[in-house]
């Protein structure tokens, strides 16, 4: 299991996001700002032109007393007509294409025929775990905090809440808030919690001053991006809430440090490993399709390697359990792989110069001889990318690595020139929800309200806000919030969807997937549905995340 988990400083990630935001809509690649191209005109504007402008402004102001009211009335009629169409799901919605929950989604074009080497992480990549694992990690960590860090024994009563956390949240070590951020690094208004209490927009404004996370604030944030973060983020929130309820002073950074140390101890001590291996039926999911996928790659002449931070005994026990119903008598899962590396210490693996050590399975010892070649049916510990490439002679672009951890599994390989495949198990459920007519119905309603709000705001550029305006604005905002709330509850009652914010923006988690994963899918065996010679290409009409379908408001005909 991954032990070093926060590798990418958040502030550098958000700076990239901010740069993207500033340049995304610049015409012809210009970056001097929206006003840059008009400076010359403004400098030479004549006095006569200014006078004519003011006269025209006076006439427009006189007309504005009546024109906005007419426009507001028109928007009100459009809104009333739209509400009538909201009473039933339009037939056109049912004809929209469905996305494949088990599909492969592409951020960067990839020709599979060019890939000769397939590498895999173990946890949450080859190994599929049940929901029971999060409770195990949570319970072991809280017990360690009570027994070793002297937290109150009442904390032992805490229970893991699977309905609270999602992947891709950030914890503010300075202010103690658990945050969901959008693609551009702004706080999701409905996704900011202090302990287990959701903060209001007014409270967010008071704490942060603005929704956008700047450079200085980003230094205090830590990303919770892998599958172990579910138990970690829930335990952080529960501990914060404990101190709040007890009316005790506390430092938010200490809460994070203690929870993180406890989670790391659970992994490094082997408590979680032994708990899983002692009862694999409870925690692991058998998977015959995985064996079929790996055998297909071998038959096509591909090279395979397994590289994990977990110890060998844990991987061996898990693989034998998962594949025991699919493999013949006398067969070993190790024969599927050309190289097996355990305790690789990712992400340091990609930048260090640690030597490889050959591991004796029978004696549980490491050899002292230098590793100059990877021999069949041998297990290797530690190592580094530099030695790995020297020994295998595998070139970067012909290697694809599958992993679930955005930073330790994907960031290092992508910078090393390997292709990357992100494994995101919750992707299947989120796509199934987005495929439902009820979700798309709410999404279309949301887009209609957004369009009407845009029209309404445009009518008051030069006029005072009338009562008709205020009434319509309130009604539109109320209807928009209803649609947001319904969509959010379809995913997660606290934070909504993993890939989207309540406002319809892609999330910060989406940004990291977009940046570090060439392709992403819910599990490696989804590649069985594609030919090993297939060309995986980015859709021509992609906006950001290729698995998202934007439901157009035109499905509802308003007059």
pLDDT of residue 554: 65
User: Strand pairing of 519-521 and 356-360?
Assistant: unpaired
pLDDT of residue 53: 43
Q: What is the pLDDT of residues 488-516, one digit of tens each?
A: 999 999 999 999 998 888 999 999 999 89
pLDDT of residue 25: 34
Measured on CA atoms in the order 538, 544, 550, 553, is the torsion positive or negative?
A: negative
**Whether the predicted pLDDT of 52 surpasses 60:** no
Strand order in the sheet with 117-120: 105-106, 519-521, 419-423, 399-403, 117-120, 303-307, 339-342, 379-382, 356-360, 365-366
User: Of 114, 123, 161, 238, which is the active-site residue?
Assistant: 123
Catalytic residue check, 437: no
Helix segments in 324-406, DSSP class H: 385-392
Q: What is the pLDDT of residues 438-484, one digit of tens each?
A: 999 998 899 899 899 988 888 765 556 788 888 999 999 999 999 99
**Whether the predicted pLDDT of 222 surpasses 60:** yes
pLDDT of residue 175: 94
The percent of residues above 70 in pLDDT, for the chain, comes to 84
Greatest pairwise CA separation for the chain in angstroms: 95
pLDDT of residue 187: 94
d(CA 321, CA 231): 24
149, 262 contact by CB (below 8 A): yes
User: Of 58, 121, 251, 409, which is the active-site residue?
Assistant: 121
C-alpha closest to that of 103 among 529, 515, 532, 544: 529
Kindly report which listed range (31-35, 117-121, 134-138) carries the lowest average pLDDT score.
31-35
Catalytic residue check, 475: no
pLDDT of residue 559: 43
Beta bridge partners, 360, equal 365
d(CA 479, CA 484): 9
d(CA 366, CA 379): 10
**Whether the predicted pLDDT of 14 surpasses 50:** no
Give the residue numbers of the binding site for GMP. 123
pLDDT of residue 458: 83
**Whether the predicted pLDDT of 356 surpasses 70:** yes
Give the residue numbers of the binding site. 121, 123, 404
d(CA 235, CA 254): 13
């Amino acid at each position: 299991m991954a032990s070093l988990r926060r590798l990418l400083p958040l502030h550098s990630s958000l700076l990239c996001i901010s740069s993207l935001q500033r340049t995304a809509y610049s015409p012809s690649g210009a970056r001097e700002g929206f006003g840059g191209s008009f400076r010359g005109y403004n400098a030479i504007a004549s006095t006569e032109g200014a006078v004519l402008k003011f006269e025209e402004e006076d006439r427009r102001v006189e007309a504005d007393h009546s024109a906005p009211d007419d426009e507001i009335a028109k928007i009100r009629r459009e809104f009333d007509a739209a509400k009538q169409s909201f009473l039933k799901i339009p037939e056109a919605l049912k004809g929209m294409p469905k996305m494949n929950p088990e599909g492969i989604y592409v951020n960067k074009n990839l020709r599979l025929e060019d890939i000769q080497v397939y590498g895999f992480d173990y946890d949450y990549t080859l190994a599929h775990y049940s929901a029971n694992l999060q409770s195990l990690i949570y319970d072991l960590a809280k017990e360690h905090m009570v027994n070793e860090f002297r937290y109150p024994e009442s904390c032992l009563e805490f229970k893991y809440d699977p309905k609270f956390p999602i992947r891709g949240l950030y914890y503010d070590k300075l202010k103690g808030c658990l945050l969901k951020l959008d693609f551009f690094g702004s706080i999701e208004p409905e996704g900011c919690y202090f302990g287990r209490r959701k903060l209001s927009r007014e409270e967010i404004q008071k704490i942060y001053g603005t929704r956008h996370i700047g450079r200085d604030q980003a230094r205090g944030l830590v990303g919770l991006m892998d599958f172990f973060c579910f138990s970690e983020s829930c335990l952080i929130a529960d501990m914060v809430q404990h101190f709040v309820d007890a009316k005790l002073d506390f430092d938010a950074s200490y809460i994070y440090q203690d929870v993180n140390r406890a989670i790391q101890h659970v992994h490094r001590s082997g408590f979680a490993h032994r708990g899983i291996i002692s009862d694999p039926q409870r925690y692991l999911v058998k998977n015959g399709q995985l064996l079929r996928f790996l055998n297909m790659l071998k038959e096509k002449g591909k090279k395979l390697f397994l590289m994990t931070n977990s110890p060998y005994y844990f991987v061996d026990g898990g693989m034998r359990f998962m594949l025991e119903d699919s493999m013949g008598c006398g067969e070993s899962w190790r024969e599927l792989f050309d190289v097996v590396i355990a305790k690789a210490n990712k992400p340091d693996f990609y930048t260090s110069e640690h030597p490889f050590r050959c591991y004796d399975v029978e004696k549980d010892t490491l050899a002292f001889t230098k590793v100059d070649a990877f021999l069949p049916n041998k297990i290797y510990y530690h190592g580094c990318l530099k030695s790995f490439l020297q020994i295998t002679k595998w070139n970067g672009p012909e290697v694809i690595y599958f992993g679930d951890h955005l930073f330790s599994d994907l960031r290092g390989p992508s910078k090393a020139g390997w292709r990357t495949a992100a494994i995101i198990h919750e992707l299947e459920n989120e796509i199934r929800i987005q495929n439902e007519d009820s979700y798309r119905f709410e999404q279309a309603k949301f887009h209609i309200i957004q369009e009407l709000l845009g029209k309404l705001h445009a009518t008051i550029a030069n006029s005072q806000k009338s009562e008709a305006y205020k009434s319509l604005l309130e009604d539109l905002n109320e209807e928009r919030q209803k649609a947001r709330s319904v969509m959010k509850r379809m995913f997660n009652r606290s934070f909504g969807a993993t890939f989207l914010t309540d406002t319809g923006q892609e999330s910060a988690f989406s940004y990291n997937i977009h940046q570090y994963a060439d392709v992403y899918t819910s599990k490696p065996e989804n590649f069985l549905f594609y030919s090993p010679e297939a060309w995986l290409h980015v859709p021509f009409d992609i906006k950001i995340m290729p698995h998202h379908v934007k439901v157009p408001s035109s499905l509802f005909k308003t007059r």
